[in-house]
Structure 1
Amino acid sequence: MEMSGDVCYENVNFTSESSEDRGLKTEKVPDLDKEETCLYSYVDRKPKELQQQNAEPSKVTEPTTPDPGPEPEPGPQPGPGPALRCGGSKRSISRAVAVCLALLCALLLAAFTALGILYNQFRENERDQLQSKYINVTQERDHLLISYSNMTRLRDQLNTNYANLTRERDQLQTSYTNVTRERDQLQTINTNLTRERDQLQTSYTNVTRERDQLQTINTNLTRERDRLNTINTNLTRERDQLNTSNTILTTERDQLNTINTNLTREKDELKKRLRNVTSCFAGWTQTGCSFYYVSTEQKNWTESRQDCRDRGADLVIINSPKEQEFLNNLTKRVWIGLTDTVTEGNFIWVDGTPLTTPKYWFGPQPDNDPNTPGSVGEDCVEIYYTAPRHPSAPPPTTWNDKKCDSDNFWVCERMI
């Protein structure tokens, strides 16, 4: 049996039926999975056939020896010699010799049988060792050669004699050597692949760590990018709004510059006029953009207003807390340009505008006191300085309605 990279075994059956049927009967094993079955079948039958050969030497034949044909018929056997017929002692000797020969044959037969059994045991032990080695090597080969699924099936015929079995052993040893060499090569390849795998695993770990770091950086950058995009969008919106505001403010600035230029021109003209008017308003007090004349005599409300008109002015109209404070600081009762002579309770200024705000009525005023003797009502308004008499109601709430025919000081106002 030959063992190489591609192995095929044949099942060999030994028969001893007759001289014509002696020989080999072969049976092809179709695939590699029956490889061990071929070997076990042959080896298991071999000791039994050797025992039969030892027990029946006449039926043991060599498989490779051609059939010798039918054995010759035994010829007539020579009879016993004349000496054996002569007396009983010779018969006894012959019987003893025959018994000795028979015992010798039996001993020889037993010796041959024992030798055959020992030989068979020796061959079985050797076969078992070879089978164990072969199984181990085959298992290692199967583990190392997973990628090899099929092997070329080639099996040579097995001979039935010891020489074929010896050759089979040598072939198994050669196969064991080859498989061992292949195993060593595969182990070397496996070692190299393991080293490369470890290097690749290390590289994979490093690359995975770098990937995670890059993912974290990418996430942070994405978040920062989104934040910057939001900021950029807001800044763009603000920029557009600022551009619009700037355009509007630029337009307003130009308009204000124009207005400022015009106002500057008007201011210069007013200054000129003011210098001219100041010389004409001797005895008048300037506060803000108005000149005020405070009388030194007392008249009723109508005569006081007429005096103001004669001076090119009119009774004072209070438009701000500052102006009210100015009048309170005079610390005397004076007529102002506020009356409800047209409609009772509907006070209007002398320029025709209704009283809205500010309002500086003192206490329960206006009360249009009807209990005043000879009074038809209080329709004109005066500054009634109450601090000396009513400390709980200090300025600026100093307005009071009073009869228009009462005499009072008055204050004229002329706008610049």
Structure 2
Amino acid sequence: MEMSGDVCYENVNFTSDSGKDTGLKKEKDTDLDKKEACLHSYVDRKPKELQQKNAKPSKVTEPTTPDPGPGPEPGPASSCGGPKRDISRAVAVCLALLCVLHLAALTALGILNNQFKENERDQLQSKYNNVTQERDRLQISYTNVTRQRDQLQTSYTNVTRQRDQLQTSYTNVTSERDQLQTSYTNVTRERDQLQTSYSNVTRERELLQTINTNLTRERDQLNTSNTILTRERDQLNTSYTILTRERDDLKNKLCNVTSCSASWEKFGCSCYYVSTVQKNWADSRQDCKDKGVDLVIINNRKEQDFLNNLKKKMWIGLSDTVTEGNFTWVDGTPLTTPTYWFSPPAQPDNNLYNADMVDEDCAEIYYTSPRLLDILPPNTWNDNRCDLTSNFWVCERGI
């Protein structure tokens, strides 16, 4: 919609707004262009309106036909006075005046517009300079703040690292402190225990000192007694040697003059009964006990050779019925040396090669005739089943 010159001129604000800072020169120039266009529109339209307003009464009052009246009367068209020619001249003069006024108005408006533009430009330039300076200050401040921020960031990183290091150090120190506290507690406890032990040891030392004094006295007494007893022991050893020799001599004489009962065979200082029937080991031993003796106990190589010369498979008084592998004689004496186990294979083997796996706990002198095994005397001992094997047996009675 097109705006009239008056309305445009009234709506345009020619004064500068110093309270508002747009910061943009381009926007101010746009407002000036709009204001200038509005002024030109107003200047162009105003003379036309005035011309139409002056021309309208002449068209209304101008007569179309001559009036045959007694004489002409002045009509409303003669606003400037005089006849029609004067009216035209007056109109021309008015138009000329209007043109002059128009030119003067245009000139004044141009001057005002230039002054307004210059003032507006100066204000905008001043604001632009202020904004530029403010921008430069802000740029410097931004640079300084950025630098300070970077420094603070570096400081923050360093402080964080130092804090972490201190935290680690604090943790280590706390751990060491706890360990030292524990060690201190343990050392204190040990110290108290040692103090108690020291007191006890001191008490015991005093007691031992007293005991040592007493024992020293007793030792001296015992040394005296020992000297006396040693002298007596030596005398007794001499007497024992003499008595032992005399006993052996008497025993040899007794063995020589003593004979064995019927069905008993003499060897050395013992009498041996060799059975004529065969029984298991327990029954064989019981027969010897019924005779007041026990199965034979072999003490030396001569006795072993004597039994081997009997050429019989016989039970002897040796078994491991109490503890497997620990052979003992019938008088409870453990088997040490000499031993005469048959080898190879190594004996005793506890029936290792039998399928029925029955223990072999009783010892025998092994003999076969004719010999089926290469058994070389004196190693003729063998372990066999006590209750399932029947052998001859030998009873022994000392003289």
Under a length normalisation based on structure 2, what TM-score does the superposition of the two structures give?
0.41
More helix by share: 2
RCO comparison, higher one (Cα < 8 Å, 6+): 1
With structure 1 as the length reference, what TM-score do the two structures score?
0.40
Q: Whose radius of gyration is greater, 1 or 2? A: 2
